[in-house]
């Protein structure tokens, strides 16, 4: 698994634009290629979940969606995805009222361009772990967390970590004050 300080390498996944529920609406495609260069100057919060149409995954996507504006206010783009395809994501939006307008990009990584680069594919099932990466505008990974398939995460905590990373405050733990470095 890639970790803090590693660079996000080139990748391409199929993005599903916010607000779309069908492959084409008003003469515009719901799909676009997303790459490491898609959002210049922005922080990226990339979160993976195992499968579309599952209850824990749905509640996480809904919780991230509720914070989409807060992430945007932190100069961050929110990207949530799995190894399911882009049509599954649109179907999930149509079938699940709480997800119909997520306010952030979804992505489909069927080929594993990002899930394999970051090393978060579950070996037993072949699907993505519940992993979260916060990537700075220079594509350097600044935070990583990964959970078992059964354990959800707290998007409020992800936002808190993003906020802390953006402050670049020095660590309060110092060797010269007699205590251990933490």
Between CA 155 and CA 64 the distance in angstroms is 6
Residue 108: beta bridge partners?
14, 82
**Two structure tokens written together for 118:** 């970051």
Helix runs in the chain, H state only = 55-66, 68-73, 86-95, 115-118, 155-167
Tokens 């100057």 -> residue: 41
Between CA 129 and CA 60 the distance in angstroms is 13
What is the set of active-site residues?
Answer: 57
């Amino acid at each position: 698994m890639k970790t803090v300080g590693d660079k996000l390498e080139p990748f391409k996944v199929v993005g599903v634009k916010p607000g779309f529920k069908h492959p084409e609406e008003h003469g515009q495609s719901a799909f676009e290629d997303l790459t490491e260069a898609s959002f210049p100057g922005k922080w990226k919060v990339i979160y993976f979940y195992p499968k579309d149409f599952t209850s824990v995954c749905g509640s996480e996507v809904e919780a991230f969606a509720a914070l989409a504006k807060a992430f945007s206010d932190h100069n961050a783009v929110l990207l949530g995805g799995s190894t399911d395809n882009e049509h599954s994501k649109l179907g999930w939006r149509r079938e699940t009222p709480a997800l119909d307008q997520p306010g952030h990009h979804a992505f489909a990584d069927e080929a594993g361009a990002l899930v394999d680069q970051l090393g978060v594919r579950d070996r037993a099932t072949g699907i993505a772990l519940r992993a979260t990466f916060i990537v700075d505008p220079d594509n350097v990974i600044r935070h990583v967390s990964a959970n078992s398939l059964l354990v959800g995460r707290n998007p409020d905590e992800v936002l808190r970590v993003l906020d802390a990373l953006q402050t670049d405050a020095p660590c309060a733990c110092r060797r010269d004050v007699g205590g251990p470095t933490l």
